[in-house]
Amino acid sequence: MELAALRSGIVLKGADVGVSREHARQARLKRLALVLAMVAAVVVGRVVAGLVHYLNANALSAKGDLAAAAAQYSAANGDFALPHPGVPASFMPYLPAFVLVVLLLAVMAGPLLLAGRSPHVLYRPEEIGVRLADVVGASGVVEEVVKTLNLFLAHRTFSDSMGGTPRRAVLFEGPPGTGKTYIAKAMAAEAGVPFLFVSSSAFQSMYYGQTNKKIRSYFRALQRYARKDGGAIGFIEEIDAIGAARGGMGAGPGREGIAGVVNELLIQLQSFDAPPVGTRIVNTFIDAVNVWLPPARAIAKRVVEPANFLVIAATNRASDLDPALLRPGRFDRTVRVDVPSRAGRREVLDYYMGRKAHAPELDDPAELDRLAGSTFGYSPVMLEHLLDEALVWALRGGRTAMTVEDIQKARMTSELGMTQDVTYSPGERVAIATHEAGHATVAYFVAPDRRLEVLSIIKRSDALGLLSHSEVEERFTRRRSECEALLQISMGGMVAEEIFFGEAGTGPSGDLAAATNLAANMVGSYGMGGSLVSLGASRGPLDVVGRVLADERCREAVASLLGTAKDKARDVVLANPHVLEALRDALLERDELIGDEITTAICGALHRGPATGSQSAPVVVDVREQSPEGLEAPGGQVPAS
């Protein structure tokens, strides 16, 4: 194979693995032909002998020697008959007891004998229904695995022509649901080699030493399939279950015995070139002969051919692994499989939209872009689950294709839980609507770079109402002004209650917790609280927020940030009470506003302008003045966002 082919960005076909597979196939055919020839020789010999006896019997019968003829006929029948075992009649009375003893031995010794078997599940390439073309939203990862796969497929070219050592183990690290197992299966399917899947927990056994034996059996199986098919790929799921750090290198309590398991794993990863059984037997015989021969006439032993297989392991916590597992020669390449970016999420959505029934409106690229932008942090599995949940909502509505509204409901269900059938008191309903409208009003004016997605007064989980908003463009960092805007949005519900009811209830508790957490990180981690000292630089029993709140000066800085944010949020609400009232009335009418419905209500209020006499600073408004039914202000618990 040309070395230039290794630079290609596609998976190599007909590489060294294919050549090795063909050689192994021809060797198997030769061995089969040899065995069949031996069997045929025995059968032909028996047939010839039987014919000879039969002809002799006929000749003797013609001469009248009937006794000799009968002996020849009997010999001929014996040659033609198939051999079969017989049970002596004297053994028959003991047969039930013998069977019982065998069964008891099987019950007692069976678990011990079978406990050391390799727990892998074998998948042939044709049994795997995914290919690398199905891995979308992770172009960088696909590029890396293609390079690794090509080195695996062209291992002889890389080692013989360039003198390199092919990569034997790769570690996939990343959050759950990002496609680590999916990619490994696609690699095996593309390579056309056996795929030996095993979970780390399957290695564990109740019998001492059987875990190590299972690991040895698994690697022997890998070597066997690799030599038989030209290559094999092994996949170990959640390897941190058996590869955690040993004692003295970060091991925690309750890990007795883990050192021996890790040691066995390290040995097997290093001992790829162990000779097969046949080679060991031949070399043992040669050693026995060479003892009697002078060195000049010694017989050359068989050279051990390296078994070409690739071990892929997956984990969510690579930091927990033993450092020796990550050194060169073992898992020396770590591939980070992370949640997809916005562009990656768009690719995943396009992929699944081609396989799931959906309304024509979801074919609009702008709509898919909005959906990709609003699902920041979603893994491919989460996106698939989101669309499946949307199909469930479509079925509930008597439709066979999902819509944008179905996807939005699915998001709310996945992130916040199912809606709860509760009935608010009239005054409480107005208070919740006012609170959430205050959040939306402040968000619209102080954070123009954020998209208002859902404004609701429907109870979900612990939230009596909510405002869902996200960034228009995907961002991984925030400026100080953006953090302050988020603090002001959190305070919007509280100041709305104070302005329209004269006081705030317990509703803002969740908002204050979120705002305090953000402000504490601004002070202790981001350097936005007047000090450049990072409390996250030291490791201790408390997190950054706990250390900030435990320090008096830092606590004062947090309180200052929150107070300033509340004052600015109050100014926004006082300057735009008509916007808040429009959002509140729309919520009271429809319970939930989604997407453009929020901005339509805001733009309508801005177009109409403030009511007569509201240009001056608003005074405290009793809820009864806002409600045509003459509702009273709510008492007791006030909802939280």
Active-site amino acid positions: 436
Give the containing element (helix H, strand E) for 431: helix 426-446
What does the DSSP 8-state code read for residue 93?
A: G
Angle, CA of 417, 458 and 482, to the nearest 5°: 80
Cβ neighbours, 10 Å, residue 415: 12
Name the token pair of 486.
């988020």
Q: Is 71 helix (H, G, I), strand (E, B) or coil?
A: helix
Query: What dihedral angle (degrees, nearest 10) is formed by the CA atoms of 84, 90, 92, 93?
Result: -170
CA–chain centroid gap for 357, Å, is 25
Q: 491, 539 in Cβ contact below 8 A?
A: no
What residue type is assigned to position 139 of the chain?
A: S
Name the token pair of 606.
């801005």
CA distance 26 to 36: 15
Residue 163 falls in which region: left (phi positive, over 0), alpha (psi -120 to 50) or beta: left
Q: Is 344 helix (H, G, I), strand (E, B) or coil?
A: helix
CA distance 612 to 470: 34
What does the DSSP 8-state code read for residue 8?
A: -
Q: Residue 593: beta bridge partners?
A: 455
Q: Is 608 helix (H, G, I), strand (E, B) or coil?
A: helix
